[in-house]
Amino acid sequence: MPVLDREPSRDSGGGDGLPKLPLPALKDTLDMYLSCMKHLLTEEQFNKTQNVVKQFGAPGGVGELLQSKLMERRENKANWVYEYWMNDMYLNNRLALPVNSSPVMVFPLQHFRAPIDSLRFAAHMISGVLEYKTLLDSRSLPVDYARGQLAGTPLCMEQYYRLFTSYRLPGTERDTLVAQESSVMPEPEHIIVACKNQFFVLDVVINFRRLNERDLLTQLDKITRMADSEQEHLPPIGLLTSDGRTEWAHARSELMRESTNRDALDMIERCMCLVCLDDPSGPELSDTTRAMLMLHGGGVAKNGGNRWYDKPMQFVVGADGCCGVVCEHSAFEGIVLVQCTEYLLKYMIGSPSKLVRAASVSELPAPRRLRWKCSPEIHKLLASSADKLQRQVKNLDMNVYKFCDYGKEFIKKQKMSPDAYIQVALQLAFYRCHSRPVSTYESASIRRFKQGRVDNIRSATPEALTFVKAMTDGKLHTSDTEKMEMLRDAITAQTKYTILSITGMAIDNHLLGLRELAHELKMEKPEIFQDEAFLVSNQFILSTSQVPTTVEMFCCYGPVVPNGYGACYNPQSDHIIFSVSSFLDSPQTCSAEFVKCLVQGLMDIGDLCNTCNSSSNTTQKKQGQTLETHTQTETNWQSKTPQRPADKTESQQSLPQFVLKTPDQTKVEAQTQTSSLAETPALKNGSKS
C-alpha cells in the first residue's frame, strides 16, 4: 500500500502545514515501470528486465527491504526524496551550466534609441526586483494554488525565498546549494553589475535608504563609464563559471589563494542578483538568435564572460535590445522563474518610470569595481574555459518557432487537455523524424507537498505509440474514426500519468529513492539499476516542458543527452511557441527537421479533429441539431498558413515592449506547471543510473 498523509492542513504555503510527499507501493511502481518500458525495448531485453524486476520485488527480497527503509526515511524527513533528487538532478552533475542546465527567459526585442535607454530599462527593472524582494522579505507574497488538474490545493512556496538569497558553490565532486536562511546574517543589500566582462558592486541601500530609480540610473551610468576605461580592464573571470563544475571548483580554489579574489568572490556570492549590461551582439536578432545568445552569451567574443552562472538570477539587458533572464536551476523550478519575471515586467508596464519625481540620495558614492589577482595558472584556466564555451556556442542547434494555425482554445474545443495534446504531437514529431519511440521526460510539479520539486511524466506511452504508428504508416489503412479514438486514448493515458505525477505517485522519484538508499546502506547495486532497461529509461532523448506565460516572452534550454532534443513550449490562446534545441555534432538530430515534423503533426492532428467533428456535425445536423462553434473552427482551418518563424510577429510597441493578457487568459492549463527543465541537467549522459 502507498504511504499517504490523511488530512493535510492548509498553511501560508511555506510548507509547514502541507502534507508530506507520499511513498508509492513497491508493487505499483514496479508494475508501472514495466508498462512504461515494454514498448521501448526489444522482446529479449524486456524478458530479461521482467525477470530482474520480479526478483527485485520478490517477498523478503531486496526491494521490500529498501521500501521499508524508505518508509522510515519518510517518517524522519520533511521530504523523503528531496536530498536524493537535488544531488542527482543538479549537484552531482559535472557538466557546465550554460546550455546543459541553466534555462533562460527571452524577452521581446527592445528598441533602444540611445545607450541611455537600455540603462533606463535596467534601472526600472532593478526597482521592480527591489519591490519583489520587499514582498519576499515581509513574507507578503500571495500563496500559489494549483491550477489545471486537481486545482485549488495550496502549493509549497519555499523555492521563492531562494531567488535572491542563494548561490551554487562548485565542488570537485558535488556542488552545494548555499541558501541564506539565517536571520543572524544580514540580508544582501547590493547587486553585482556585469559590464564589458568587469564586475561592479551596486549598493541599493545607502544610509538605510533604498535607492530610487533616478539614483540607480546615475549609478549604472557611472558603471558603464568605468567599464569603458581600458587601463582598468581585468581578465573576464566570469568565463570560469561557464566551465564544467569540477574545473570551476579547481579554478575557484586557485582564485581563493589571494585575499583580493576572496573579497571579490564574497561580494558576488552574497549579492541579490546580477544585472548584465551586454554589448551589441550583431545585426540579426531573431527569436532563435536571441535564445542562443541568452543561453551562452555568444562566447568569449561577445558576452559569454559577462556572466556569473552560479547566481540564481541574472537579468540581461543588451544595448541592442536583446534582453532576458538566465536562471541557475538548482534553487527553484520554472514556475518560480516565470512568476518572478512576470511580476517584474508587469511592474515595468504598470508603474511609470520614476526618474524625475523622487528625491535622491544627495552624495552617491561611486560603485566599486571588483579586483582580481590572476596567477599564470588562472590565465591558463581562463583560456581553457573560453575554448570550451566557444565549442558550446558552435555546437548548439536552436530553433524557435511560433505555430500560428491554432492554439490552446482550438484544443480545448476538442475537449482535450492542451498539454496532453501537445505531448502527443511531440511524440508524433519524434516518430516521424526517427521511426522509433524514446524515453521522454516532462516535468510535473509536486509543490502540493512539503519541499516538493518535480517528478517525471513519462509521455512515451504505449497509447501514444499506437496513435503515431497509425498516423505515419500508410499500410495500416486505419480510418479517421479509429485514429481519433487512438488520439483520445493517448491523451487519456497522458492525463492519467500527469495526475499520478503531480500527486506523488509516479515512478521516477521512487526508483531514485530505492537506488540511492541501497548506495547509502553500502549494499551491492541491485541488478534492476544495472539492467539495460534502466539505462534506457533514463536516457531522456526527448526532454520537454510546458512553460506558459501571461506576458510576451518564452523559455528555452538545451538538450539533456548528446543525441537528444530539448523541447519547451508556451501554449497561448491562438498560437503555440516552441523552442527546440539539439547539438550539431550529433548526426542523429536536427532541430529544423524536428520542428518541420512537429508542424506537420500539429496540422495533421488538427485536420483529424476537424474531419471527425465535421462527420459528427453532419450526423447531428441531420437530427436537427446545429453546432455553430465547429463551423467557426472549420472556417479557421480552411486557410492554412505556411511555416513561419516567430520573429516576424514580434511586438513593435514603445518601451517597455511587453504584452499583457486579459485575466481570463492567465490560467495555466496543466499542473505540469512549467517546472521546466526541472530534471534536465543531471540526466545528461544518463547520469540517473
Show which residues are catalytic.
329
- Residue 489 burial (10 A CB sphere; 0-12, 13-18, 19+): middle
What the block records as the C-alpha cell of 389 is 564555451
Cell 494555425 belongs to 405
Distance CA 592, CA 460 (A): 22
Give me 116's grid cell.
541611455
> Residue 581 is placed in which grid cell?
534545441
Is the previous residue joined to 186 through a cis bond, with omega within 30 degrees of 0?
no
663 Cβ contact partners less than 8 Å away, ≥ 6 residues apart: none
29 and 81 in contact (C-beta within 8 Å)?
no
210 — phi, psi (to 5°)?
-75, 135
Alpha carbon distance 572, 575 (integer Å): 5
* H or E stretch at 401: strand 396-403
* Residue spans of alpha helices (H) in 435-545: 462-472, 480-502, 508-520, 532-537
Q: Which amino acid is at 87?
A: N
Element (H, E) at 633: helix 628-638
Half-sphere exposure of 379 (CA within 13 A, CB side): 5
The SS3 of residue 313 is: strand
Q: Is-contact 674 546, C-beta < 8 A?
A: yes
Q: The C-alpha cell of 194 is what?
A: 556585469
How far are the Cα atoms of 7, 22, 181, 335 from residue 78, in angstroms, in the given order? 16, 11, 17, 22
Pair 330, 168: CB distance under 8 Å: yes
Question: Are 161 and 150 in contact, with CB atoms under 8 Å apart?
Answer: no
Q: What is the Cα–Cα distance from 186 to 388, expressed in whole angstroms?
A: 37
The Cα 301–Cα 506 span in angstroms is 45
Q: Phi and psi for 354 in degrees, rounded to 5?
A: -105, 55
Tell me which residue of 416, 477, 459 sits closest to 606, measured CA to CA.
Answer: 416
Angle CA 312–317–323, to nearest 5: 85
DSSP codes, 262-285:
HHHHHHHHTSS-EEEEEPP--S--
Whole-angstrom Cα Rg for the chain = 26
